[in-house]
Each structure stands twice: as structure tokens, then as C-alpha cells.
């Protein structure tokens, strides 16, 4: 029983990593400009730098890419 749970967990981590890598490749080539306008014209070094983070946190970036409306809203708090 424990071996099945461990095998399922490893399989789930592989699937998560594979989906993350595919999404990160698409995001760093096309989506980063839509989410952050200052990333337009950025070089390959920047895109290579953000690739691991995008692959690891891909669910957050999927949501941000879907709901992207140009620039993020400006903060409105007492520290601004």
C-alpha cells in the first residue's frame, strides 16, 4: 500500500514538473510580455533566469496570464 502511494506521489510530481516545463517555455516566449510590459525586448538571459521559477509556480502564472490586463494595478496603501 505504501509503495502505491509513493509511486503515485512520484508520478504526480513528474506530471507537475512536465506541465510546468511546457508552460514555462510558452510563457517565457510569449506570455511574459502580456503580464509585464517592461519585459518586452528583454533578452534570452532574463528569460532563462525566470524559467525555473515559472516552471515551479506555473499555476500562479497561468492565472496571472489569463487575467492579464496590461500593467498590474497600482498599490493604494498608506505606504505609497
Concatenating the DSSP letter of every residue in 5-46 gives HHHHHHHHHHHHHHHHHHHHHHIIIIIHHHH-GGGTT--HHH
pLDDT digits (tens, 9 = 90+) for 18-61: 999 999 999 999 888 888 878 888 888 999 999 999 999 999 99
Is 80 domain-assigned? no
Task: Look up the pTM and report it.
Answer: 0.79
Is 44 domain-assigned? yes
Number of folded domains that form the chain: 1
**Which domain range does residue 14 map to?**
2-66
Q: Is 24 exposed, middle or buried (0-12, 13-18, 19+ CB in 10 A)?
A: buried
pLDDT at residue 71 greater than cutoff 70? no
Amino acid at each position: 500500500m505504501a509503495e502505491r502511494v509513493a509511486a503515485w506521489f512520484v508520478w504526480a510530481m513528474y506530471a507537475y514538473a512536465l506541465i510546468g516545463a511546457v508552460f514555462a517555455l510558452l510563457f517565457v516566449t510569449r506570455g511574459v510580455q502580456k503580464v509585464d510590459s517592461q519585459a518586452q525586448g528583454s533578452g534570452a538571459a532574463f528569460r532563462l533566469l525566470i524559467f525555473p521559477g515559472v516552471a515551479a509556480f506555473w499555476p500562479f502564472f497561468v492565472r496571472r496570464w489569463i487575467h492579464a490586463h496590461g500593467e498590474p494595478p497600482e498599490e493604494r496603501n498608506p505606504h505609497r
